[in-house]
Structure 1
Amino acid sequence: MSSMQQLLIIEDDARLAQMVAEYLGRSGYAVNHAIDARTGLNLLQDPPGGHRPDLLILDLMLPDMDGLEVCRRVRALPPPLGQVPVLMLTAKGDPMDRIIGLELGADDYLPKPFEPRELLARIRAVLRRRVEGVAPALQLMRFGSLELDRDARSVTVGGRPAELTSYQFDLLMTLAERAGRVLTRDQIMEAVRGRELEAFDRSIDVHMGRIRAAIEADPKNPKRILTVRGVGYVFAKQQD
């Protein structure tokens, strides 16, 4: 089995994809490229050599299918395949594209045009969350009917699985580990992503909304993740 981390790029600009693949290849990654959405989805589910990608780089604008639809289909796949981290490439950095992509389950975004070094930094940050997610603390955390399993990177509510992306799982763990402590958005971003990347506050809010939808009985009136106006978020110690 290959020890190199596997990346899948779904990008219709062949020249850009080749440049990115060569750059990432020199940085120690094994890269596969798909020119369109359907080929990319096939490669994701039936990868060469059986090596599932550790991360998907997904262009928003594809000739045969909208990148947002691709992201939606990826997240609909059964785990662990449907939990693959997704880094979305968005044209011109349109804020609405970013927000919609995050709502659909993308872990990060990068507007075009971009510097390959920034892409590499973001890839490393996303993958670092995956490989460093297990800390020497309780592997299984319970808060009433909510259960978080570090090893399995899974969340259940009342015994039923809650569907979260890799990034959302890390956000939830960051809050749960500090239950009762109010965290600012910057503190959350530093804990989850590291200092080298620029924080985008609204992305935290979007992800928190998705987490609440997955774990709260009534997401509009949350009991687990509470908003502290003008400050950030707090994970409630006392729950059902």
Structure 2
Amino acid sequence: MTKVAIITGISSGMGKASAKYFKEKGFEVYGGARRVERLQDLQELGIHTQKLDVTDKISVRALVDRTVKEQGRIDVLVNNAGYGEFGPIEEVPVQKAKQQFDVNVFAASHLTQLVLPVMRRQKSGRIVNISSIGANVYSPLGGWYYATKASLNMWSDVLDSEVRRFGIRSVIVQPGMTKSEWSKIALENARQNLADNSPYSDMVDKLDSLFGKLKTSASSEDLAKVFYRAATDVKPKRRYFNSIVDHGMVMIAKAMPHTYRSILNQLMK
């Protein structure tokens, strides 16, 4: 029996690489993104694509209904769509903070609510929520982004405790820095969110330097394989990491918060 996956945010980065990898592994893959012009190559691979705004209920419902109509089942949902609304907490408009939660948390919740009845009927399913090591580690200017990822972690754990009895699992993947557009967009947002003559303007350059110091060899293709393990492991873990470095940073931040703060202060100098 061919398994079916829905993956959000497949126009670039980890989402795009995951759509390709799941297809290579034999899944029927459905997904979308707002930038449909970036989906042509996925369509040519046989991936079922469409325009998708995860904050639009009609758009999301159309994706789920199409998947069920054409395949009759949904085995995996990968809640990958997300972005970083960086900027000083004092200066980021509340509306932008709400939008950050809408995309990174509430959109995942809405999609999950739509697929759970299908998975319960099947008595099986996997919800893979793409969080970040930023759910535990942090830097200046990322407060709202990190808050969404910490929320997603807790939300996923509670969901898992509720749906395990139906044969469904909810798990978290926590990527670290990867070769993608994410950090560039986050820094652009940080600069856009600075007020005129902001006392925080120097922090953006320091954060840019910090991101540069955190060089990584992790590619979107590497993370696609982690997504796949999280989606298919017979005995899934609560958390998935791409590397021991990512896992180690989280462990230090959780177990030794003062040590983490000292390291961060040194890196931001």
TM-score class normalised by the smaller sequence: 0.3 to 0.5
More helix by percentage: 2
More strand by percentage: 1
Given the two structures, how large is their TM-score scaled by the length of structure 2?
Answer: 0.40
Given the two structures, how large is their TM-score scaled by the length of structure 1?
Answer: 0.44
